[in-house]
Copies of this chain bind each other. A is one copy, B any other.
Amino acid sequence: MEPTLITSRQNPRVKAAAALLDAKERKKTGLFLLEGARLCADAAENGVAVETLLVTPRAAEGYAPYYEAVRAAAEETFFIDETVAEKLSDTAASQHFFCVCRKRETPLAIDPAGFYLITDRVQNPDNLGALSRSAEAFGAAGLIVCGGCDIYSPKALRASMGALLRFPVYREADAAGVVETLTGRGMRVFAALLSDTARDVRAVSLTGGGALVIGNEGAGVSDAVAAKCTDHVIIPMAGRAESLNAAAAGAVLLWELWGRRSTIN
């Protein structure tokens, strides 16, 4: 049976979905809005609860394999017209393919032999998304997001290319507490610090599990968190550069501490 077609921007389901572009509404409802055929399929394939699929008939045809997968997972599916799609869209070139999903709350489960990325108030959604891609690509066991940008913001989800949906992601309020939990299990936790006392990352040799903390773009890792870490590391820099972009620094440190020596390939 064909899904019902919604043509009004005032339709209650459409209004509720569009409201999720706002962080406050996401917080209140526990729901979030995903845009893009591939991202919606990533959600469906990874056990994210899909409440509503909203798609233009043309997008359903154009992205047929994704459409079938998401429709099978969704509680309900509606066709929408292009005016409605533009109301829901947060992008310049929309695929007209959306779903409303339920946020996951996964209790923190640590594998002491794994490697984790901990973000301490990383604010920029593009950075958070890029960091989650790097963590997944370099074989990290999970990402622990402490404060900062909402992982369910449309920008962060897009920048993650689905990693925030595929990959174990935990949200914790207290970064210092998370670091204590890990060190209490015998793991080394590395704070990325722009400090003279931090060790050159090339001199570090990690055996067993561990974690890396990347701090806020402006303020870095907070003192309280750094104090709980077992190691402070820095990437040596040449020239007049004073720092790297947070996502670039995170990628290099994840690579150097874990990905480079892990058994990938």
A52 CB-CB contact with B under 8 Å: no
Residues of chain B lying within 8 A (CB to CB) of residue A265: 200, 236
A260 and B202 contact, CB distance less than 8 A: yes
A78 in contact (CB, < 8 A): no
Q: How large is the interface on A (under 10, 10 to 19, 20 to 34, 35 or more residues)?
A: 35 or more
A245 interfacial by beta-carbon distance below 8 Å:
yes
Interchain CB contact under 8 A, B238 and A259: yes
Most central of A139, A161, A236, A242 by chain B CB within 10 Å: A236
B245 touches A159 (CB 8 A): yes
A202 to B237, CA, bound (A): 21
At the interface with chain B, which of A27-35, A103-111, A175-183, A248-256? Answer: A248-256
Please, which residue of chain B has its CB at the minimum distance from the CB of A200?
B265
A237 with B200: CB separation less than 8 A: no
Copies in the complex: 2
Residues from chain B with Cβ under 8 Å of A236 in the complex: 259, 264-265
Partner of A138, one of B163, B237, B264: B237
User: Is the C-beta of A225 less than 8 angstroms from some C-beta in chain B?
Assistant: no
Tell which of A167, A237, A240, A255 has the most Cβ of chain B within 10 Å: A255
Q: How far is the CA of A239 from the CA of B161 in the complex (A)?
A: 14
Contacts of A82 in B (CB 8 A): none
Question: Is the pair A248, B200 in contact by a Cβ cutoff of 8 Å?
Answer: no
Bound form: Cα–Cα A166–B265 in Å: 39
| Nearest CB in chain B to that of A162: its residue | B240
A133 at the interface (CB under 8 A from B): yes
